[in-house]
Amino acid sequence: MNRTTGTIVMFMTLLLSLTASAQAEDTLHFGVRPGVTLADGEPANDILSVGVFGRYRLTNQWLIGIAVDNAEFDFEDPARVLGLNASEVVDANRYQVCYSVFLFL
């Protein structure tokens, strides 16, 4: 199990343990969100992502939430982008994890 999978499993376990007490009051919500960042290949092609999020109602007006998003993509010809001469084009694989905490009305 990689680090991101472990983080998502821990996050979901925490949310599931909190859900039983919060469901009666409708204070806790969680879900999965897919994402696509469209690009033309310079320096990366379209980036697909998936994440989990949860939010907790603090008051009638305020919500607090957390999210973990994961994306994997290839970086097109990094040597050219850096201004280096390379005999063959090799794309670099990139892996990105984004942790977010948010507070909103």
**Tens digit of each residue's pLDDT, the chain (105 residues):** 456 666 666 666 655 555 545 555 678 888 888 888 777 767 777 788 889 999 988 888 888 999 999 988 777 766 666 777 777 767 777 788 999 999 987
Instruction: State how many domains the chain has.
Output: 1
For 65, counting Cβ atoms within 10 Å of its Cβ (0-12 exposed, 13-18 middle, 19+ buried), the class is middle
pTM over 0.75: no
For residue 25, the enclosing domain spans 3-104
Helix (H) / strand (E) containing 12: helix 3-23
